[in-house]
Amino acid sequence: MGNDELRDNIIDRLKKLNDLEPLAKLFESMQGEDAVLSYIFEVEKTTPSEISLALDFSKARSTAILKSLEKKSLVKLTKARDDKRKHLATLTKEGIARVEKKAIKATAFFDDYLAELGESEGKKLIKLLDKSINIARKHRET
């Protein structure tokens, strides 16, 4: 198999993975509003600037997402005591419930996935994914 065919086969498989509902939902959860909710869940309280740095979003995008989440009652924005220009974001009960529900579904999917894949193949997959991440980082546009 030549490089062109190998490349096309890899791209085809990645597209198929992305089109499968459990993985599509997982990939979706790593972007936009769900990524912000998950980040706030991890750190408990944060600012738009911190979200921008952690998730590699522009500050304007982070602010827009936070405002959208606030309108949906998933996030509460308050002014910081030490700097009234700075807003702090925390999750509401609804926001926490949404993150926890998605985490439960993702965990169940991966438990089933690993049961079928097996430990040995799972470890090989992790090595390939780590290598893929490192290669992609080297080629990332800045």
pLDDT for 41 equals 96
What's the CATH number where 124 sits? 1.10.10.10
Reported as a pLDDT band with limits 50, 70 and 90, residue 27 is confident
7 to 12, 28, 74, 129, 130: CA distances (angstroms): 9, 24, 41, 16, 18
For residue 53, tell me if it sits in a domain: yes
Give the count of domains, the chain: 1
pLDDT digit string, tens, across residues 33-82: 999 999 999 999 999 999 999 998 898 999 999 999 999 999 999 987 87
> Three-state DSSP class for 85?
coil
For residue 51, tell me if it sits in a domain: yes
Rounded to whole angstroms, the Cα distance separating 129 from 98 reads: 28
pLDDT for 136 equals 86
